[in-house]
């Protein structure tokens, strides 16, 4: 990964950061670094990984996908 000049190496991370900026951070201004850290943690652990529908999974959340797979 991270080969110089290859944009596809970081596509997963770039996609996550793009969604984070569009869906959560936007134009917010956080008063402290801790508030920003908590908000980003909440987005990734609670919303993105559990609730948000992913097109790669057929439009369902990862939690629902795992539940249905069992």
Alpha helices, DSSP H, located in the chain: 11-20, 33-41, 62-69
pLDDT by residue (tens digit) across 31-45?
A: 999 999 999 999 888
Q: Which residue has the higher pLDDT, 9 or 14?
A: 14
By CB neighbour count within 10 A (0-12 exposed, 13-18 middle, 19+ buried), where does 47 fall?
middle
pTM of the model: 0.66
In the predicted structure, residue 1 carries a pLDDT above the cut 60: no
How far apart (Å, rounded) are the C-alpha atoms in residues 16 and 21?
9
């Amino acid at each position: 990964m991270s080969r110089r000049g290859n944009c596809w190496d970081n596509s997963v991370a770039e996609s996550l950061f793009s969604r984070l900026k569009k869906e959560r951070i936007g134009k917010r201004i956080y008063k402290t670094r801790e508030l920003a850290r908590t908000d980003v943690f909440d987005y990734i652990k609670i919303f993105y990984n559990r609730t948000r529908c992913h097109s790669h999974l057929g439009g369902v959340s990862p939690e629902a996908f795992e539940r249905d797979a069992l």
